[in-house]
C-alpha cells in the first residue's frame, strides 16, 4: 500500500500501563496514577450529581457545533461564539491545526522538551520539524524566533510547558508575538492555565484581539477533571476559526461530554479549591527536593519534574512495584529526572516516603 513514507518510522503513542494491569503484575491492591496530570480530586460534585440522573439519548448524533457549550464558554471568557472551536480534547485541535497548515515543504517550530503531540502530528504531515532547546526548562523564545523563516507555518508555545511546568514571562511572550511574521500561526497551549497564579498577569485572551495569527488552546482534561470526556477548545479571531472548522470532524464532542463541560464550567469554586490544594501538594515535593539537594523545575502546573540522581527508568519501575505510576525522565528526554502529577496530600506523603526508600536503595541517599 501507498503509506506516507514517514509512517514507517513512527510508533503509536505509548500511554503507559493501565492501572489494572499494574495491579495484576505486582499483586497490588491499589495503584495510584500520577503520570498524566489528571485531577486527583476528580471532577465537580455537580457533574457527579448530573451523571447519576442523566437520560440523554445516545442513539442520536451530538450537536456538531456544540452550541450550548459554545455559548457557555463564550460567556465565561467574554469572547464571541464564532471565536471558538471545540475538539475531542485539545489533542484533536493540535491534529486539526497541523492538518490544516503543515505539509511537506513547510516547517514548524517548537521547543524541546515540550508536549509530544506537536512533533507527532507534524511528522505525520511530513513537515520539517525545528526543535529549539528550552533554557532552564523555559521556551527560548528568542531562539525560536530565529528559527522561523519564510517556510515556517506554525509555532508552538506550550505555556506552562509540559513536561517542565515552567512559564515564559509576560514580556518575553509579548515581544515574541510582536515579532512573529503575521503569516505564521502561533499556537499558545494553555492546558494548565487554571493552575497558574494569574493575579499579576495580563489576560492572554487580550492577545487574541491583538494578533490575528494567534490561537490559544485550553482543555477540560486537567483542572476540570474531565479527561475521559475529551473536550478541548481553541480561541482565536474569527478568520482563523473559519479556516480550521472545515478540518474538524463533524461530531467531535459527544452529547454527554458537552453537557458535563457546561456543568463543570459553572462550578468555579471547585476549580479554586483544586488549585489551592494543588499549591499545597506542590510544596510537599519542593520541600522534599530542597531538603535532599535534588534539583526541580519551578512548576506552574499540577505536576513537577525533579531530579532523582538515579536512572529514571529504574526509579519508574521501582515506584510502579510499590503502586505508583509516574513518568520516567528518559521517556521525556531528561534522564535522571521524573515527572510526577501532584496528588492528594495523602498520596503525596505516601509517594515521597516510598521514593525515599527507592532512592536510598539506589545509593542516592546514605
Site string for ligand PLP, 18-47 (x = CB under 6 A): -------------------x----------
CB of 202 to ligand PLP, least distance (A): 21
Strands (E), the chain: 32-33, 84-87, 107-112, 128-133, 152-158, 185-189, 214-219, 232-236, 303-307, 324-325, 327-328, 337-341
Closest CA to 127 of 93, 91, 101: 101
Q: How far apart are CA 254 and CA 267, in angstroms?
A: 21
Site residues for ligand PLP, 85-144, by CB under 6 A, read: 89-91, 115
Three-class DSSP category at 252: coil
The correct pick among 232, 323, 329, 343 for binding ligand PLP (CB under 6 A) is 232
Nearer to ligand PLP, 15 or 246 (CB): 15
β-bridge mates for residue 130, sequence order: 109
Q: Is 156 in the site for ligand PLP (CB under 6 A)?
A: no
Using CB under 6 A as the binding rule, whether residue 265 contacts ligand PLP is answered as no
Least distance in angstroms from the C-beta of 27 to ligand PLP? 30
| Of residues 153 and 161, the one with the C-beta less far from ligand PLP | 161
| C-alpha R_g of the chain | 21
DSSP 336: T
- Residue 26 Cβ, how far from ligand PLP at the closest point, in Å? 25
In the complex, the smallest distance separating the C-beta of residue 121 from ligand PLP, rounded to whole angstroms, is 11
In angstroms, the Cα distances linking 220 to 228, 247, 293 are 10, 21, 35
Instruction: Say if residue 221 is exposed, middle or buried (CB neighbours under 10 Å; 0-12, 13-18, 19+).
Output: buried
- When binding is defined by CB under 6 A, the residue of 123, 189, 194, 307 that contacts ligand PLP is 189
Contacts of ligand PLP in 157-176 (CB under 6 A): 158, 162
Nearest-angstrom CA–CA distance, 55 and 304: 39
Residue 129 C-alpha cell reads as 520539524
Kindly indicate which of the ranges 10-18, 58-66, 219-227, 283-291 contains the residues binding ligand PLP, using the contact rule CB under 6 A. 219-227
Q: Does 234 interact with ligand PLP (rule: CB under 6 A)?
A: no
Question: In angstroms, rounded to a whole number, what is the distance separating the alpha carbons of residues 256 and 62?
Answer: 9
- Position 233 contacts ligand PLP (CB under 6 A): no
Q: Pick from 219, 237, 257, 278: which binds ligand PLP (CB under 6 A)? A: 219
Number of residues that bind ligand PLP (CB under 6 A): 13
Residues that bind ligand PLP in the complex, under the rule CB under 6 A: 37, 89-91, 115, 158, 162, 189, 191, 219, 221, 227, 232
Amino acid at each position: 500500500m501507498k503509506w506516507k513514507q514517514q509512517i514507517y518510522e513512527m510508533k503509536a503513542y505509548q500511554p503507559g500501563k493501565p492501572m489494572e494491569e499494574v495491579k495484576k503484575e505486582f499483586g497490588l491492591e491499589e495503584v495510584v496514577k500520577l503520570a498524566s496530570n489528571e485531577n486527583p480530586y476528580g471532577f465537580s460534585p455537580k457533574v457527579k450529581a448530573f451523571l447519576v440522573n442523566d437520560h440523554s439519548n445516545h442513539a442520536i448524533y451530538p450537536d456538531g457545533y456544540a452550541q450550548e457549550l459554545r455559548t457557555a464558554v463564550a460567556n465565561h471568557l467574554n469572547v464571541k461564539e464564532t471565536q471558538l472551536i471545540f475538539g475531542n480534547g485539545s489533542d484533536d485541535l493540535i491534529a486539526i491545526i497541523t492538518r490544516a497548515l503543515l505539509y511537506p515543504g513547510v516547517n514548524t517550530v517548537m521547543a524541546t522538551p515540550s508536549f509530544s503531540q506537536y512533533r507527532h502530528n507534524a511528522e505525520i504531515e511530513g513537515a520539517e520539524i525545528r526543535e529549539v532547546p528550552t533554557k532552564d526548562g523555559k521556551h527560548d523564545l528568542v531562539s525560536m524566533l530565529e528559527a522561523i523563516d519564510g517556510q515556517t507555518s506554525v509555532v508552538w508555545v506550550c505555556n506552562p510547558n509540559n513536561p517542565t511546568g515552567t512559564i515564559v514571562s509576560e514580556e518575553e511572550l509579548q515581544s515574541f508575538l510582536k515579532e512573529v511574521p503575521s503569516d505564521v500561526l502561533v499556537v499558545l497551549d494553555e492546558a494548565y492555565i487554571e493552575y497558574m497564579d494569574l493575579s499579576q498577569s495580563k489576560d492572554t485572551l487580550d492577545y487574541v484581539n491583538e494578533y490575528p495569527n494567534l490561537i490559544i488552546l485550553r482543555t477540560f482534561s486537567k483542572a476540570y477533571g474531565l479527561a475521559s470526556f475529551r473536550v478541548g477548545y481553541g480561541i482565536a479571531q474569527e478568520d482563523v476559526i473559519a479556516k480550521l472548522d472545515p478540518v474538524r470532524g463533524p461530531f467531535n464532542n459527544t452529547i454527554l461530554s458537552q453537557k458535563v463541560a457546561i456543568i463543570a464550567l459553572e462550578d468555579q469554586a471547585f476549580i479554586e479549591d483544586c488549585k489551592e490544594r494543588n499549591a499545597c501538594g506542590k510544596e510537599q515535593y519542593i520541600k522534599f527536593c530542597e531538603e535532599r539537594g535534588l534539583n526541580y523545575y519551578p512548576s506552574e502546573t499540577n505536576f513537577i519534574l525533579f531530579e532523582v540522581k538515579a536512572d529514571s527508568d529504574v526509579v519508574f519501575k521501582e515506584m510502579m512495584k510499590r503502586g505508583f505510576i509516574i513518568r520516567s525522565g528518559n521517556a521525556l528526554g531528561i534522564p535522571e529526572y521524573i515527572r510526577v502529577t501532584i496528588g492528594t496530600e495523602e498520596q503525596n506523603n505516601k509517594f515521597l516516603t516510598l521514593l525515599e526508600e527507592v532512592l536510598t536503595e539506589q545509593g542516592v541517599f546514605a
